Amino acid sequence: MSNNGQSKWLATHIAALPRSGIRDFFELVSEMDDVISLGVGEPDFATPWGIREATIYALEKGHTNYTSNLGLMRLREVACDYVAANFGMRYHAAAECIITVGVSEALDLILRAILDPGDEVVYHEPCYVSYAPSIQMAHAVPVAVQTVESEAFALEPGRLEQAITKKTKAILLNFPNNPTGANLSFEQKEQVAQVAVRHDLLVITDEIYAELTWGEACQSIAAFPGMRERTIFLHGMSKAYAMTGFRIGYACGPPELIEAMMKIHQYSMLCASIVAQEAAIEALRNGRADMEAMKEEYCQRRNVIVKRLNDMGLRCTPPEGAFYVYPNITCTGLTSTEFAHRLLREHKVAVVPGIAFSSAGDGFIRCSYATSMENIEEAMARLAKFIAK
């Protein structure tokens, strides 16, 4: 059944997909005890109790059925109100919003809804590991534009424009960014928006970290002139509300695109879990104080980790958002994979090699500060010993 370790039944485009670099590293880490992990891309907080309690109540009331393919109308309404209040775009709950199983599903839906074989999607690296594979699984071509440390990992509009060809259909954005923590300024977003309008492209904007910003408040590119009709805004509950396991995301955008996404969702996923949707309603209605408290804690951890890294000589751009730092490790002379493997073996600290997020990521590692202050201090002490060697 196998040919070069692969089943002959596999589709060519799936066989060609690389395994996530994180996967191998995860298996290595999971074989070791007492590791302090800065490798986790999810909050270390449990979901706030008020949200958990509302989830239990939903179960008690017997809310255990399918929902509309688009999601519970009550959730779409509160989500659209939340987007209007926090981002400035007003979407119609009935036709311009769909509830999905995390932002990951929403991204997959919009890519499959718009892409024909051979179409190109321009995205920026370093980025979340699924972007290029998701584009490839939709039979399209991912085109990476590198963001660089000297520009604080912001997307440079000139370089973006150079990557656009006649085959380009969409631009995929993720700011605040995983893994760099970068955000775009108002002017930078405006310039990226102008590029999209000039080339008549759709913009897919993954704003899952939008609440977790340490400088300017979140400003969606969808709110810029000429953008609402050409933007799919992706957001969800996972990061700011510590609800990763609930798997609730949502997409807002033009009705014909939401309708197309709904068709795929209807035939593949059917609907997101009703219990998780009830939890999301509670979070969006009453979860802000808990969210703000977690945000304050992340901000303090960010200040500490940035200071410790820079003090030990690992140059680290202060992140504008999310809960990651992306320090430069070139002074060690190690590749990011060597660095991460040796740090794990010699000092039992897990970080993710930059190469997992970008072909040009070798001079960097990603450290997540979604872990306790105590863990951060201990990990930084061990890292400093490693660097000093």
Q: Is 303 in the site for other proteins (CB under 8 A)?
A: yes
* 20 lines the binding site for other proteins (CB under 8 A): yes
Return the range that interacts with other proteins (CB under 8 A); candidates 34-42, 152-160, 217-225, 280-288: 34-42
Q: Under the criterion CB under 8 A, does residue 26 sit at the interface with other proteins?
A: yes
CB of 376 to other proteins, least distance (A): 10
Assess 289 for contact with other proteins (CB under 8 A): no
Binder of other proteins out of 86, 112, 130, 354 (CB under 8 A): 130
Q: Report how far residue 173's alpha carbon sits from residue 31's, in angstroms, rounded to the nearest whole number.
A: 35
The residue among 251, 252, 240, 245 whose CA lies nearest residue 273 is 245
Among the listed residues 118, 300, 331, 385, the single contact to other proteins using CB under 8 A: 300
Residue of 29, 197, 312, 384 interacting with other proteins (CB under 8 A): 29
User: CB under 8 A: which stretch of 36-44, 133-141, 218-226, 330-338 binds other proteins?
Assistant: 36-44
Reduce the secondary structure of 163-199 to three states and give it as a string: CCCCCEEEEEECCCCCCCCCCCCHHHHHHHHHHHHHC
Minimum CB–partner distance for residue 26 and other proteins (Å): 4
Q: Kind of pairing, strands 324-325 and 365-368? A: antiparallel
In whole angstroms, what is the distance from residue 357 CA to residue 366 CA? 9
Q: In the complex with other proteins, which residue's Cβ is closer, 189 or 308?
A: 308
Closer CB to other proteins, 52 or 159, in the complex: 52
Among 78, 182, 59, 192, CA closest to 125:
182
Give how many residues touch other proteins by CB under 8 A: 28
Residue range at the interface with other proteins (CB under 8 A); choices 2-10, 42-50, 251-259, 260-268: 42-50
Cα separations in angstroms, 51 against 48, 100, 247, 286, 380: 6, 19, 14, 8, 33
Q: Interface residues for other proteins in 316-355 (CB under 8 A)?
A: 350, 352
- Tell me which stretch binds other proteins (CB under 8 A): 38-46, 75-83, 181-189, 329-337: 38-46
- Asked if residues 241 and 48 have their Cβ atoms less than 8 Å apart, the reply is yes
Select the residue interacting with other proteins from 307, 331, 345, 346 (CB under 8 A). 307
The CA distances from residue 132 to 45, 190, 356, in Å, are 30, 25, 12
Distance CA 351, CA 338 (A): 11
Q: Answer yes or no whether residue 42 interacts with other proteins by CB under 8 A.
A: yes
The Cα 290–Cα 46 span in angstroms is 11
Query: Is 39 a binder of other proteins (CB under 8 A)?
Result: yes
CA distance 214 to 188: 17
356: contact with other proteins by CB under 8 A: yes
Q: Which is nearer to other proteins, 20 or 268 (CB)?
A: 20
Distance CA(360)–CA(18), nearest Å, equals: 16
Tell me which H or E stretch contains 252: strand 249-252
Sole binder of other proteins in the list 22, 223, 360, 381 (CB under 8 A): 22
Residue matched to tokens 């933007």: 231
Binding site for other proteins (CB under 8 A): 20, 22, 25-26, 29-30, 35, 37, 39-42, 44, 46, 128-130, 178, 300-301, 303-304, 307-308, 350, 352, 356, 373
